Amino acid sequence: MTNNLVWQDQHVSREDRSSIKHQKPCLLWFTGLSGAGKSTIANALDLALHNMGYHTFLLDGDNVRHGLNKDLGFSDTDRVENIRRIGEVSKLFTDAGLIVLSAFISPFASDRQLVRNLFDQGEFIEVFMDTPLNTCEARDPKGLYKKARAGKIQHFTGIDSPYERPENPQMTLDTSTLTIEQCLATLLSFLKENHYIREKHGKQASTDDTSC
Ligand code: ADP
């Protein structure tokens, strides 16, 4: 199908695009059980980075299924395709120079690896939200555990479908012991220490410092 397609080189490189944003593009991939705090922490980080003047984009599991992936169900094939498309979209956003945050349960190591393979070394940051099942279930923010326990939802991660723990995540956060502020501080330190963002915040950097 793609035999007659040739990759078109572009005059403006991804480095050109990110350099005017004073940031190093990357994908922060939040994975973990439902209720582990992926959306909450990804949203908090998105807001903090935005307020600091960085250019971000947040992809949230449920929202993507309302649009781009609304034709997909929850069969094995569709589940893999769901993650593949999210990976490809994230890749386009990082090519545009953005810091992308994705919050998806993504329970299977092979699916996460599929996305990791799309990115260069250091661009894919796996953030494992390692909140214990009993805390997630007690929170049950969407009432899904209750439904799963009652047999109204099948193949629910953590109940009757496995969650494969990441073996070498870049970061592990347990929101049963860490506050939102502590998670945020950990993530921001990581991004600064690894030069995804600068010590000085972006708004300041873009107005009083042109050395980037
Ligand atoms: P997920 O996206 O992983 O399904 P959510 O972020 O939607 O999880 O839900 C996590 C729930 O836990 C939210 O209702 C949030 O307010 C609550 N919560 C309590 N303490 C924390 C914490 N320290 N970090 C993140 N979420 C927390």
Look at 157 and 63; give whichever has higher pLDDT: 157
By alpha-carbon position, which residue is closest to atom 5 of ligand 1? 37
Ligand 1 atom at minimal distance to the Cα of residue 41: 25
Domains of the chain listed by start with CATH number: 16-199 (3.40.50.300)
The neighbouring-strand residues paired with 56 are: 99
At residue 90, the pLDDT reads 96
CA-based Rg of the chain, rounded to a whole angstrom?
18
> Given ligand 1 and candidates 28, 134, 139, which is best to mutate, with the most ligand atoms within 8 Å of its CB?
139
Reported as type and span, the H/E element at residue 14 is helix 14-19
At residue 206, the pLDDT reads 46
Reported as type and span, the H/E element at residue 209 is none
pLDDT at 12 over 50: yes
User: For the segment 19-78, what is each residue's pLDDT rounded down to a tens digit?
Assistant: 888 999 999 999 999 999 999 999 999 999 999 999 999 998 778 889 999 999 888 788
Q: What's the 175 CA to ligand 1 centre distance in angstroms?
A: 7
Q: Annotated active-site positions, please?
A: 106
At residue 2, the pLDDT reads 64
Mapping DSSP to helix (H, G, I), strand (E, B) and coil, where does residue 107 land? coil
Which residues surround ligand 1 with Cβ inside 6 Å?
Answer: 32, 34-41, 103, 129, 139, 141, 175, 178-180, 183
Question: What phi and psi values does residue 44 have, to the nearest 5 degrees?
Answer: -65, -40
Share of the chain above pLDDT 70, in %: 92
Ligand 1 atom at minimal distance to the Cα of residue 105: 3
Contact 35, 131 (CB under 8 A): yes
| DSSP code per residue over 150-166 | TTSSSS-BTTTB-----
pTM of the model: 0.90
By alpha-carbon position, which residue is closest to atom 21 of ligand 1? 175
User: Which amino acid is it at 147?
Assistant: K
Q: What's the 144 CA to ligand 1 centre distance in angstroms?
A: 14
By alpha-carbon position, which residue is closest to atom 16 of ligand 1? 40
User: For the segment 64-118, what is each residue's pLDDT rounded down to a tens digit?
Assistant: 889 999 999 888 788 889 999 999 999 999 999 999 999 999 999 999 999 999 9
| DSSP code per residue over 32-69 | ESTTSSHHHHHHHHHHHHHHTT--EEEEEHHHHHHTTT
Share of the chain above pLDDT 90, in %: 74
